[in-house]
């Protein structure tokens, strides 16, 4: 390239990298992979070295981005610089020389600076742009593992990473209503949680803090050792990032140990940090304009493979988001065979300039998640779908910040009701073993299932299902056997399977007991007939009548009835207590106290818990229409709320009424 061409390319890279950095740091979004960012960043640094020029807004001299929320701002007492990085263990060894150092995880969350005075947490500030951050003290007070009071009474300043574990991330996503978009990754969720204006939300998200640097603690002798600082912080109650002490000779084995451990971690990390143990020597090295010289980051040297893009599947999810997934010729990465990789959103599709038949380079991010590193062809010929692949509705592109995503706006799209199909197939409903949410999502995305009745005709797609990854002939035969077995059922199970609001299995039992087992009489029941039943309130009665007044829902119900063989329920009032979990709340009328009712449940083989969860079978509350926290939680989780009378009938203990 000529000098002019190099300068033009530098300007392009600065603009692109700053845009990506803004999305990542200030907007909790992502428009390119870390691999792609690092590659472009390295290209920019090389061009700056070749030309001797550095643009004023280059990310190689500016750290982070201005925060855009309404949180108050504050300047850091000491600038927060990023770390120089390498993917070469040999480079780490050469940098370390004869010194000893601490090798630790480079955690992938949001960096926070904490200040304690007189043993109390006084202030918490985010990294921000490295010079000025946002004050998030109230949010830090609800971090799950952070000590609010410590025995050290001097001024203490430390830095650490706020993170959300993978298990909490998955739990939070699972608890979101189907209509809400799921969070993309723990880092984005954590960034939003730490920067909340309401710290109640922060507390609910189980943010944790891992200390990785001591900035100030006057009057303490650390014997000139960073490790002593870590041990001291741990003694005060802080969770310190896991580390290993290393020399140049032991460094390769230590890196290998971390490499093996990463797949076991419940927390996100994007590499390692090598920090000199000798405090005085490290400080004497000073800093560059961007990097401190006492530490270096190590990023995994991603194993890459070139392959051919064969297809991009656009998969509609229960949130309405339509996710692009690349399908390519199979390659081996990090010891496993890979042929699919998520592309995340329209912005990344466009930035990669994808087209079918392109030669792409793939890798595993953090050695776990397959991703496209770059497109070596860059044809840019891949069309963005104009209709939803599941329901056919016209798609829309939504823009949040600089991130463009594809959505299906149709509220009745089958992909948005995976949980409804899973409920229909659940044990207490139609009991179709083998139909997990993941399996149902694949069937719906493939167009095999549109209504509940379609579950009884999956045999039409035997060839397609058997060919799917993870399935096969045995799975299909077992599934068809379960579908056939589910045809012999009861009207109560069918009712419960349709998930009518407020109609749990116990309520369905009560209605069938009172109205009878004739489907026509049940579908035509009035609110007056229903509220006359002991234990049925107006809310449940209206939900019932509104459901069957909807011609589409009524037809779906009738279609399922045409597929099943209803068995006469000889004792629909009785249900085994054994193995079920109950929560008791409110006052009781047939027992001396709640403990007496608990003893009865335990004597019948049941369990009693103090809080409502997804594992709760029933919440017993004589005020079934209460808006108490337990009732609301039960409703959200689909746990039936039954009265004491209803419980005794179900348990076959009418003698106690």
Q: Please write the tens of the pLDDT for every residue from 203-238.
A: 888 899 999 999 999 899 999 999 999 999 998 889
d(CA 53, CA 656) in angstroms, rounded, equals: 88
pLDDT of residue 255: 93
pLDDT of residue 366: 60
Match 């064969």 to its residue by tokens: 310
Q: Is 608 left (phi over 0), alpha (psi -120 to 50) or beta?
A: beta
Maximum C-alpha span of the chain: 95
pLDDT of residue 167: 87
d(CA 599, CA 602) in angstroms, rounded, equals: 5
Residues near 134 by Cβ (< 8 Å), separated by ≥ 6? 67, 69, 71, 72, 73, 74, 125, 126, 128, 195
pLDDT of residue 144: 86
From the candidates 22, 106, 364, 416, which is the catalytic residue? 106
Calculate the dihedral angle through the C-alpha atoms of 414, 177, 398, 344, rounding to the nearest 10 degrees. -80
pLDDT of residue 26: 53
Burial annotation 570-588 (CB, 10 A radius, 16+ → b, else e)? eebbebebeebbbbbbbeb
pLDDT of residue 369: 75
pLDDT of residue 572: 40
Residue ranges in the chain modelled with pLDDT below 70: 23-30, 53-57, 61-70, 176-182, 289, 318, 334-335, 366-368, 401, 506, 534-535, 569-576, 655
pLDDT of residue 639: 84
DSSP state of 24: H
pLDDT of residue 37: 80
pLDDT of residue 607: 86
- Catalytic site residue 106? yes
pLDDT of residue 176: 65
What is the pTM (predicted TM-score) of this model?
0.54
Q: Which of 554, 598, 563, 580 is nearest to 639 (CA)?
A: 580
The residue count of the chain comes to 657
d(CA 368, CA 564) in angstroms, rounded, equals: 44
The sign one gets for the Cα dihedral 348, 349, 352, 357 is positive
């Amino acid at each position: 390239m000529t000098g002019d061409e190099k300068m033009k390319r530098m300007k392009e890279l600065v603009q692109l990298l700053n845009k990506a950095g803004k999305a990542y740091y200030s907007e909790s979004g992502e428009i390119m992979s870390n691999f792609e960012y690092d590659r472009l960043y390295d290209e920019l640094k090389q061009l700056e070295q070749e030309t001797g020029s550095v643009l004023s807004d280059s990310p190689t001299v500016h750290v982070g981005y201005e925060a855009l929320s309404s949180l108050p701002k504050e300047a850091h007492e000491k600038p927060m610089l990023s770390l120089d990085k390498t993917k070469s263990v040999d480079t780490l060894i050469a940098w370390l020389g004869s010194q000893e150092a601490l090798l630790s995880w480079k955690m992938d969350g949001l960096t926070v600076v904490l200040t304690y005075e007189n043993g109390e947490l006084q202030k918490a500030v985010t990294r921000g742009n490295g010079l000025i951050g946002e004050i998030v003290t109230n949010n830090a007070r609800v971090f799950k593992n952070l000590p609010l009071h410590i025995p050290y009474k001097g001024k203490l300043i430390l830095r650490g990473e706020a993170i959300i574990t993978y298990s909490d991330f998955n739990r939070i996503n699972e608890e979101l209503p189907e209509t809400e978009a799921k969070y993309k990754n723990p880092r984005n969720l954590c960034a939003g949680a730490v920067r909340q204006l309401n710290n109640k939300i922060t507390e609910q998200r189980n943010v944790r803090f891992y200390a990785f640097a001591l900035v100030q603690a006057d009057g303490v002798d650390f014997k000139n050792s960073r490790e002593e600082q870590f041990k001291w912080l741990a003694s005060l109650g802080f969770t310190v990032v896991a580390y290993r002490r290393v020399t140049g000779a032991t460094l390769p084995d230590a890196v290998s140990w971390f490499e093996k451990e990463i797949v076991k971690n419940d927390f996100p990390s994007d590499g390692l940090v090598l920090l000199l143990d000798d405090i005085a020597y490290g400080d004497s090295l000073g800093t560059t304009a961007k990097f401190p010289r006492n530490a270096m980051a190590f990023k995994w040297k991603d194993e890459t493979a070139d392959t051919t893009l064969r297809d991009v599947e656009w998969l509609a999810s229960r949130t309405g988001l339509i996710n692009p997934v690349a399908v390519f010729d199979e390659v081996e990465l990090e010891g496993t065979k890979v042929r699919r990789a998520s592309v995340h959103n329209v912005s990344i599709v466009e930035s990669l300039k994808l087209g079918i038949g392109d030669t792409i380079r793939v890798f595993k991010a953090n050695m776990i998640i397959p991703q496209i590193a770059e497109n070596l062809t860059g044809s840019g010929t891949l069309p963005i779908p104009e209709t939803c692949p599941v329901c056919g509705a016209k798609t829309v592109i939504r823009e949040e910040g600089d991130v463009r995503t594809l959505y299906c706006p149709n509220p009745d799209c089958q992909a948005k009701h995976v949980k409804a199909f899973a409920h229909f197939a659940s044990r207490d409903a139609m009991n179709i073993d083998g139909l997990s949410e993941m399996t149902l999502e694949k069937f719906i995305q493939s167009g095999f299932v549109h209504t509940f009745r379609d579950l009884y005709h999956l045999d039409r797609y035997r060839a397609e299902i058997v060919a799917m990854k993870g399935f096969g002939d045995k799975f299909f035969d077992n599934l068809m056997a379960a579908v056939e077995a589910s045809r012999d059922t009861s009207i109560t199970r069918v009712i419960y399977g349709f998930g009518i609001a407020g109609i749990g299995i116990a309520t369905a039992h009560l209605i069938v007991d009172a109205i009878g087992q004739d489907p026509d009489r049940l579908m035509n029941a009035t609110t007056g007939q229903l509220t006359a039943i002991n234990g049925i309130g107006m809310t449940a009665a209206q939900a019932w009548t509104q459901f069957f007044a909807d011609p589409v829902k009524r037809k779906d119900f009738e279609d399922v009835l045409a597929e099943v063989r209803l068995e006469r329920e000889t004792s629909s009032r009785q249900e085994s207590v054994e193995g079920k979990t109950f929560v008791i709340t409110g006052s009781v009328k047939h027992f001396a106290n709640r403990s007496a009712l608990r003893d009865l449940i335990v004597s019948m083989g049941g369990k009693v818990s103090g809080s409502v969860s997804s594992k709760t079978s029933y919440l017993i509350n004589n005020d079934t229409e209460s808006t108490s926290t337990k009732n609301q939680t039960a409703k959200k989780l689909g746990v039936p709320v039954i009265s004491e009378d209803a419980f005794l009938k179900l348990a076959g203990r009418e003698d106690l009424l």
